[in-house]
Amino acid sequence: MKNIRNFCIIAHIDHGKSTLADRLLQSTNTVSAREMQAQVLDDMDLERERGITIKSHAIQMNYKFEGQEYILNLIDTPGHVDFSYEVSRSIAACEGALLVVDASQGIEAQTISNLFLALDHNLEIIPVLNKIDLPGAMPEEVKDQIVDLIGCDRDAIIPASAKEGIGINEILAAIIHRIEPPKGNPDAELQALIFDSTFNSYRGIEVIFRVKNGRINKGDKVKFVATGKEYFADEVGILRLTKEPRDYVDCGDVGYIISGIKVAKEVKVGDTITHSEKPTKEAIKGFEEVKPMVFAGIYPVDTTEFEDLREAMEKLQLNDAALIWEPETSAALGFGFRCGFLGMLHMEIVQERLEREFDMTVLTTVPSVRFNVIDKKGEVLEVSAPSEMPDPNYIDWIEEPFIAAQIITASDYVGPIMGLCMEKRGILKNQVYLTATRVELTFDMPLSEVVFDFFDKLKTISRGYASLDYHLIGYQESNLVKLDILLNGDPVDALSAIVHRDKAYEWGKKLCEKLRELLPRQQFEIAIQAAIGAKIIARETVKALRKDVIAKCYGGDISRKRKLLEKQKKGKKRMRQIGNVEVPQEAFMAVLKIN
């Protein structure tokens, strides 16, 4: 065990974690030049295209150093706030962390939040100043920031460029010298921490774990503590670029187990694996059930594809344990599913995977958070869709989830950012100057204001020089109302939203205006109305006119006309007939585009 090192890489998004991981794998000959491709660990297509890490990954490296053989287990973690629970479990599986900071950007919100997670677990921190090759790098200034933040020696910071391969040997030496070997008792009862799982359509779920105490052998009967389920370890082994079966995975090491589990739900990140015969007395601390934060409806564009969509959702759920759903019906959209996601990025990923991997064309409704509605009888009702909102007469009060948002920015942008946060009903809790020009702001804010477009706006007004991290702090009472949208007098349930009363009027007006732009003209007039209960608060009209797409083609080539008509036909497919009004997909997302 003394020659094992378990470490993770933590960083703000895009500071170069995955690139650094690539270099480490190359330097330790874990991947050959032939196998090497950029961001080797991000193996989902989506991860590659977007350049982000969605799932945690683990890989074992062998490294000869000062005449000894070492085993280095690297755990690459996702950087996005939607996946912070996974980060916390990966961190719990390590003794040390490389804290990667971009020399041209400096410390950002996730640098700090992840650092605190690592410090909570008593990890040894190795600060790495990455991207020193960039012309815009400010190594001395960023070093100051790092020293201020973690109180380390200036010399302890390793200057590096993951891209150019600078500083990689120093990093490997620091991993061996500074990070402690794992502690743990090989003779104790088995305790292994699950920090990830992957889905293989032939072999079922592969569970990735770190053995804290004891040893797990092939063929052992094991039990997952949180779910109480028991399995046989059909195969155990270690993770290289591919999985390598072994007879056992020993105390301190990272490995995988395959035991015929078919459903991702049975494997909970943070759970403890132990032996059925000789179980551990206590589970590893820190296990939490992940809770979805954002809810939206997903509907097939073609109503006859409902069963296909159900099948696709079931398959997707097999390898995405965080996704939850249940059937739902909407007067406007027919049969579909109400889904819960970790955040907006997770929602986009699910939608994209449905379209890409399962060839489904789907409509997604306006996302919403989960509200607590307390009725006159004192009963608490969880409401995650406007359609579930009871009649106002029965409601005593409504609570909504609040977050603590931490924003780090250049001091020039403090004014506009404060303005934006106030507009989003934020309350300033703290303001700290990290350096003369960098400020950390902490706000309490309703989650519902953050899920839509807050992050985009923050980026725009700060010209990209602001970063955001947040966590849930609890529920607070708010003055909320349900806002309905009517098209020619018919309410469109999928367009309803739950909004703050003070903003309802403005919201309704803007939404009507946006819908007027988005609804194609038809042969009759369309009235668009926003209403709270029976009270109409805004109205717009779409004038009658059939859009003649070939009007501009006088004479000319017939194939061009045909093309235009084809295009119009395709566009129509994505529309839904609401009463007598056709509504395009964009309209369902109009709420997101307000302003």
CB of 51 to ligand GTP, least distance (A): 5
Tell me how far apart the alpha carbons of residues 348 and 64 are, in angstroms, rounded to a whole number: 43
- Is residue 53 within 8 Å of 41, Cβ to Cβ? yes
Cβ nearer to ligand GTP, comparing 133 with 308: 133
Tell me how far apart the alpha carbons of residues 111 and 54 are, in angstroms, rounded to a whole number: 17
Residue 418 touches ligand GTP, criterion: CB under 6 A: no
CB of 113 to ligand GTP, least distance (A): 13
Residue 52 touches ligand GTP, criterion: CB under 6 A: yes
Residue 48 touches ligand GTP, criterion: CB under 6 A: no
- 427: region left, alpha or beta (phi > 0 left; psi from -120 to 50 alpha): beta
Q: Which residue is nearest to ligand GTP (CB)?
A: 79
Tell me how far apart the alpha carbons of residues 523 and 539 are, in angstroms, rounded to a whole number: 19
Q: Which stretch binds ligand GTP (CB under 6 A): 158-166, 261-269, 353-361, 508-516?
A: 158-166
Residue 53 touches ligand GTP, criterion: CB under 6 A: yes
Residue 132, annotated as binding a ligand: yes
What is the DSSP secondary structure assignment for residue 315, as one 8-state letter?
H
Q: Site for ligand GTP (CB under 6 A): which residue of 161, 368, 409, 462? A: 161
> Helix (H) and strand (E) counts for the chain?
14, 33
Residue 134 touches ligand GTP, criterion: CB under 6 A: yes
Question: Which structure tokens are listed for 145?
Answer: 């920031």
Residue 191 touches ligand GTP, criterion: CB under 6 A: no
Total length of the chain = 595
Q: Site for ligand GTP (CB under 6 A): which residue of 61, 71, 93, 162? A: 162
Buried b (16+ CB within 10 A) or exposed e, 461-479: bbeebbbbbbeeeebeebe
Helices 109-120 and 139-150, interaxial angle, to 10°?
40
Tell me how far apart the alpha carbons of residues 89 and 109 are, in angstroms, rounded to a whole number: 19
Tell me how far apart the alpha carbons of residues 336 and 297 are, in angstroms, rounded to a whole number: 7
> Which alpha helices (DSSP H) does 73-150 contain, by range?
84-92, 109-120, 139-150
Q: How crowded is the C-beta side of 387, counted as CA atoms within 13 Å?
A: 18
Cβ nearer to ligand GTP, comparing 126 with 538: 126
Q: Site for ligand GTP (CB under 6 A): which residue of 5, 10, 16, 273? A: 16
Q: Site for ligand GTP (CB under 6 A): which residue of 4, 8, 10, 13? A: 13
Q: Site for ligand GTP (CB under 6 A): which residue of 17, 57, 212, 510? A: 17
Residue 130 touches ligand GTP, criterion: CB under 6 A: yes
Q: Site for ligand GTP (CB under 6 A): which residue of 32, 51, 396, 412? A: 51
Residue closest to 431 by CA, chosen among 446, 445, 416, 414: 414
Residue 111 touches ligand GTP, criterion: CB under 6 A: no
Tell me how far apart the alpha carbons of residues 581 and 494 are, in angstroms, rounded to a whole number: 14
Residue 46 touches ligand GTP, criterion: CB under 6 A: no
Residue 97 touches ligand GTP, criterion: CB under 6 A: no
Residue 15 touches ligand GTP, criterion: CB under 6 A: yes
CB of 76 to ligand GTP, least distance (A): 8
Tell me how far apart the alpha carbons of residues 468 and 450 are, in angstroms, rounded to a whole number: 10
Helices 84-92 and 109-120, interaxial angle, to 10°?
40
Residue 23 touches ligand GTP, criterion: CB under 6 A: no
Residue 19 touches ligand GTP, criterion: CB under 6 A: yes
Site string for ligand GTP, 272-311 (x = CB under 6 A): ----------------------------------------
Q: Which residues contact 341 (CB under 8 A, 6 or more apart)?
A: 82, 292, 293, 294, 295, 296, 322, 323, 347, 350, 367
Site size for ligand GTP, by CB under 6 A? 20
Cβ nearer to ligand GTP, comparing 18 with 274: 18
Residue 403, annotated as binding a ligand: no
Q: How far is CA 98 from CA 52, 128, 174, 209, 224, in A?
A: 18, 7, 10, 20, 30
CB of 465 to ligand GTP, least distance (A): 17
Q: Which stretch binds ligand GTP (CB under 6 A): 51-59, 189-197, 386-394, 506-514?
A: 51-59
Q: Site for ligand GTP (CB under 6 A): which residue of 124, 133, 141, 375? A: 133
Q: Site for ligand GTP (CB under 6 A): which residue of 6, 7, 8, 18? A: 18
Three-state secondary structure call for residue 36: coil
CB of 139 to ligand GTP, least distance (A): 12
CB of 353 to ligand GTP, least distance (A): 17
CB of 17 to ligand GTP, least distance (A): 3
Q: What is the dihedral of CA 461, 369, 55, 259, to 10 degrees?
A: 180
Please list the residues that pair with 400 across neighbouring strands: 476
Cβ nearer to ligand GTP, comparing 353 with 424: 353
Strands in 362-364's sheet, in edge-to-edge order, are 324-330, 334-341, 294-300, 362-364
Site string for ligand GTP, 438-477 (x = CB under 6 A): ----------------------------------------
Q: Which stretch binds ligand GTP (CB under 6 A): 159-167, 243-251, 258-266, 349-357?
A: 159-167
Residue 43, annotated as binding a ligand: no
Residue 14, annotated as binding a ligand: yes
Q: Which residues contact 141 (CB under 8 A, 6 or more apart)?
A: 106, 435
Three-state secondary structure call for residue 281: coil
Residue 502, annotated as binding a ligand: no
| Residue stretches of the annotated binding site for GTP | 14-19, 130-133
Contact positions vs ligand GTP (CB under 6 A): 11, 13-19, 39, 51-53, 79, 130-131, 133-134, 161-163
